[in-house]
Amino acid sequence: MQETATPTETAILAGIDDKECIGLYGDISEQLDELAELAATAGATVKGRLTQRRENVHPGHYLGKGKIEELKDLAISEWASMVICNDELSPAQLRNLSDMLNMKVLDRTALILDIFAMRARSAEGKVQVEMAQLKYRLSHLTGAGRAMSRLGGGIGTRGPGETKLETDRRQIREKLTRLRRELAEIRDRRRLLRHNRERSGIPVISLVGYTNAGKSTLMRLLSGADVFVEDKLFATLDATTRKIELGTAEVLLTDTVGFIQKLPADLVEAFKSTLEELKYADILLHVVDVSNPAHQNHMGVVYQTLASLEIGGKPVITVYNKTDKLDRDNQAVLLADPRAEVCVRTAAVNRTGRDELLNAMDTVLQSLRRSITVLLPFSQGWLMDYAHKNCNVISREHTQDGVLLELYAEGEALGRLRELMT
């Protein structure tokens, strides 16, 4: 028989029950549910949970001494190989906790970084994740602790090379400089693509939302694109764009990385160029998994993340997805989203709501359409024919320098006439 199975790591989750956080993040049990999903996505089996009610985390070792003893007993009795903490820990906290438990300790940030490292596919995605990991390692170089370095490998150490953990700061800094240069080149290429796209004048509609909400499934449904869908967190890291027909117009639909609460700052920073694509969207489709009891919190996190990326003011269509998982009573209590232009209910898995969504997209797009005024020089008389054929002309006026037209233009025609705008 062939041996294929790699031993799965087993983990105990640890968190602080801090009432302050409930507002945006949900209560501690909801938070640990999500942490468990993250752990499962990274390939760990969760064997138990332990929480401590405190106002603040312990500055030296995250949990109090008594709780750490309890945690140690639990880990031993469950044969767990590591502890995953629900917050981002300081290097000293990580080292101390790991030494006191004599066990590998990961924080939420390292776990998410690990998942991203596992998921990155494109050159840009890989460079971005590696940058975020190196930055994290740079700030934690002395923080691995005895237990961590002894038990090397596995979750939290994946990505580009474990030996890099041991490389010194200077080498990491040099690597970061090189990666920054690589990323700048990738960004230049992207900018060129974007420039071409803008010239073509095709409107852009972007899917945004909490991770696992069903963005890629909707992308499939609306565009037929064969994008990756999985019931795990952060299935998508790279941006995908597809052209779709919408009523009379063509639009570009983009799918991208999902959001999560307490997204590590290094990752947001590293993924800025991917996320910045959202700046060029004309409309955002905010996909919400309404079957998740924490979906109201998730919506708050999405709006907060959009605001932090300075893309808060765009027209939003809220897509309440996974309605097939709700019973009738729960369907009825779905609230309207006051921040959205319109709300649509869908069940992307069985195509429910597809036409309503396409109609809503068309309607919002129409409402964004503004007329433009162009001056057609007499020397380019053919443009007059072109404008009448391809645009909706509202008024015409002859002047000394040419013909002044007010018109609605879309797509290629908009791109072509934009240069003549007055």
The binding site for ligand GTP (CB under 6 A) comprises 209, 211-217, 229-231, 233-236, 258, 321-322, 324-325, 347-349
Contact 295, 288 (CB under 8 A): yes
Q: Which is nearer to ligand GTP, 136 or 234 (CB)?
A: 234
212 belongs to the binding site for Mg ion (CB under 5 A) = no
Binding partner at 231 among Mg ion, ligand GTP, none, C-beta below 5 to 8 Å by kind: ligand GTP
Tell me the window of 154-162, 213-221, 330-338, 397-405 that interacts with Mg ion (CB under 5 A): 213-221
Minimum distance from residue 137 beta carbon to ligand GTP (Å): 25
CA-CA distance, 196 to 190, in Å (whole number)? 10
Q: Nearest approach, Cβ of 347 to ligand GTP (angstroms)? A: 4
Tell me how far CA of residue 24 lies from CA of 50, 115, 296, 313, 346, in angstroms.
21, 23, 9, 21, 25
The rounded distance, in Å, linking the Cα atoms of 292 and 296 is: 9
Question: Token digits for 245?
Answer: 């027909």
Query: How many residues of this chain bind Mg ion (CB under 5 A)?
Result: 4
Nearer to Mg ion, 84 or 348 (CB): 348
Of 332, 330, 251, 327, nearest in space to 285 by CA: 251
Q: Is 236 in the site for Mg ion (CB under 5 A)?
A: yes
Which of ligand GTP, Mg ion, none is residue 133 near (CB under 5 to 8 Å by kind)? none
Residue in this structure with the two tokens 């992308």, named with its chain if needed: 219
> Is 263 a residue that touches Mg ion (CB under 5 A)?
no
Q: What's the min distance (Å) between Cβ of 118 and Mg ion?
A: 15
292 touches, from Mg ion, ligand GTP, none (C-beta below 5 to 8 Å by class): none
CA distance 393 to 41: 54
Q: Can you tell me the distance from the alpha carbon of 89 to that of 76, in angstroms, rounded to the nearest whole number?
A: 23
Instruction: Give the distance between the most distant pair of CA atoms in the chain.
Output: 90
Q: By Cβ distance, which residue is nearest to ligand GTP? A: 258
d(CA 305, CA 260): 9
Distance CA 130, CA 145 (A): 22
When binding is defined by CB under 5 A, the residue of 51, 216, 261, 305 that contacts Mg ion is 216
Q: Which is nearer to ligand GTP, 345 or 416 (CB)?
A: 345
322 contact, one of Mg ion, ligand GTP, none, CB 5-8 Å limit per kind: ligand GTP
Applying CB under 5 A, does 206 fall inside the site for Mg ion? no
- Output the smallest distance, CB 231 to Mg ion, in A: 11
Of 133 and 211, nearer to ligand GTP (C-beta) is 211
At position 49, the amino acid (one-letter code) is: R
Q: Are the CB atoms for 198 and 252 separated by under 8 Å? A: no
C-beta of 89 vs 360, nearer to ligand GTP: 360
DSSP secondary structure letters along 102-137 = TSEEEEHHHHHHHHHHHH--SHHHHHHHHHHHHHHH
Q: Which one of Mg ion, ligand GTP, none is in contact with 93 (Cβ closer than 5 to 8 A by kind)? A: none
Contacts with Mg ion in 270-329 (CB under 5 A)? none
List helix spans (H) across 140-230.
145-150, 169-200, 215-223
In the complex with ligand GTP, the residue whose CB is nearer, 117 or 409, is 117
Q: What letter represents residue 295's amino acid?
A: H
For ligand GTP, the closer of residues 179 and 361 by Cβ is 361
Query: Which letter does DSSP use for residue 183 in this model?
Result: H
Residues at the site binding Mg ion, with contacts judged by CB under 5 A: 215-216, 235-236
